[in-house]
């Protein structure tokens, strides 16, 4: 096979066989900071599952689609959407083919980009038989985690205020829940709570493996859990089952490295998430209905007048500050 820069060229351009033939696609989604990476590492530790770091592919594809079909000239007059989706399939496969070839022929490719929960409809037009795993974590813990990483490695994407974080969590979770009505079959959607996975990792992982069609012994499951423990990750900042990005500068076969502070305290109890009193008010106000619907305890749904004034006032003060900030 012809190579370029030490890597094999796409089999879809060369019309050759590859490990991607016959592989089914599973998309792991959820709000950012919900445990998606940990769950990805657990699942991809089984030889039937291969994976890579976040592609954000369908976020880019959705943006491009909007650009194309918002115009009445140009590309939209050459391609229809069906053709666009066929091209996306080829491009996506070409993208993940850049990863190191798996040592064992996988049954599934697991794609984990949290924000893909907002683009499930497009994903299903490209891969109609795709399955989705939706992990949900308490929005208060997610908001606190977003606020923490917004001060360091996540400053380019993570909300820096509690109200923005709460609305981001709610949008992502609502869109993730809507996938149940989009998939080809009800058993193509699997929902799990982060708190349940932390509380009984072995039991929940076994149920998920059964759902996806992977046989594993109790010994296998225990080994995978030990290999991907949060304590071990905090020491090494890497998961052995997740290869590095092809253009990361790492040698083929080297593992992914995550930024310092990627893993936080990972609290499970609502009272330990690390939000201030006002931040807690904001999250309960903007995301409380969904938190209650999902069964999370201790959510405020009634607020005193001064609390409402604080919640709304903080937001407006921030808007005024942004408006008055000198333009650079």
Does 321 fall in a domain?
no
Question: For residue 125, what pLDDT is reported?
Answer: 97
CATH number, position 209: 3.40.50.300
Q: How far, in Å, CA of 320 to CA of 16, rounded?
A: 59
Rg of the chain in Å (alpha carbons): 21
Task: Give the separation between CA 105 and CA 189, rounded to whole angstroms.
Answer: 24
pLDDT at residue number 6: 45
How many Å from the N-terminal Cα to the C-terminal Cα in the chain?
52
Does 10 map to a domain?
Answer: yes
Q: Is 109 inside any structural domain?
A: yes
Indicate whether 75 belongs to any domain: yes
Q: Are the CB atoms for 177 and 51 separated by under 8 Å?
A: no
**Residue 111 parent element (H or E):** strand 108-112
Q: So what's the pLDDT on residue 18?
A: 81
The closest alpha carbon to 131, from 149, 154, 107, 150, belongs to: 107
The 10s digit of each residue's pLDDT in 132-151 is 999 999 999 999 999 999 99
HSE-up (13 A, CA, CB side) for residue 234: 7
pLDDT the model gives residue 5:
47
Let me know if residue 290 belongs to a domain: no
pLDDT, tens digit, 9 for 90 and up, residues 34-48 = 999 999 999 999 999
**Integer CA distances (angstroms), 26 to 55, 152, 202, in order:** 13, 31, 20
pLDDT of residue 248: 67
Instruction: Estimate to the nearest angstrom the gap between the alpha carbon of 11 and the chain centroid.
Output: 27
Expressed as residue numbers, the domain containing 224 is 3-264
Q: What is the pLDDT of residue 249?
A: 65
Residue 318 belongs to a domain: no
The SS3 call for residue 136 is strand
pLDDT at 236: 84
Please write the tens of the pLDDT for every residue from 249-261.
666 555 667 888 8
* Segment (H or E) for 20: none
pLDDT lower than 50: segments of the chain? 1-2, 4-7, 14-15
Would 187 be classed as within a structural domain? yes
Specify the number of domains making up the chain: 1
Structure confidence at residue 1 (pLDDT) = 47
- Model pLDDT, residue 138: 97
Residue 270 falls inside a structural domain: no
């Amino acid at each position: 096979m012809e190579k370029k820069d030490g890597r094999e060229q796409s089999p879809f351009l060369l019309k050759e066989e590859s490990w991607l033939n016959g592989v089914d696609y599973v998309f792991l989604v959820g709000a950012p900071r919900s445990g998606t990476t940990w769950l990805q590492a657990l699942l991809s530790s089984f030889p039937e599952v291969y994976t890579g770091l976040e592609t954000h592919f369908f976020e880019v594809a959705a943006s491009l689609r909007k650009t194309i079909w918002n115009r009445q000239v140009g590309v939209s007059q050459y391609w229809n959407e069906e053709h666009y989706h066929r091209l996306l399939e080829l491009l996506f496969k070409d993208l993940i083919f850049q990863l190191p070839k798996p040592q064992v022929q996988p049954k599934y490719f697991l794609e984990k980009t949290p924000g893909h929960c907002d683009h499930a409809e497009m994903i299903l037009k490209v891969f109609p038989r795709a399955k989705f795993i939706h992990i949900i974590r308490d929005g208060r813990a997610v908001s606190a985690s977003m606020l923490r990483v917004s001060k360091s490695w996540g400053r380019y994407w993570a909300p820096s205020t509690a109200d923005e974080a709460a609305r981001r969590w709610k949008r992502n979770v609502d869109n993730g829940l809507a996938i149940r009505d989009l998939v080809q079959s009800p058993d193509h959607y699997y929902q799990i709570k982060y708190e349940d996975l932390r509380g009984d990792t072995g039991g929940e992982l076994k149920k998920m493996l059964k759902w996806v069609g992977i046989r594993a012994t109790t010994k296998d499951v225990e080994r995978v859990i030990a290999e991907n423990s949060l304590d071990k990750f905090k020491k090494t900042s890497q998961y052995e089952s997740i290869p590095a990005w092809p253009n990361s500068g790492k040698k083929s076969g080297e593992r992914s490295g995550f930024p310092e502070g990627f893993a936080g305290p990972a609290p499970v109890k609502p009272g330990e998430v690390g939000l201030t009193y006002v931040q807690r008010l904001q999250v309960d106000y903007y995301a409380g209905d969904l938190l209650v619907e999902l069964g999370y305890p201790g959510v405020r749904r009634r607020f005193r007048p001064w609390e409402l004034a604080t919640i709304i006032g903080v937001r407006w003060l921030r808007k005024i500050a942004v408006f008055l900030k000198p333009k650079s």
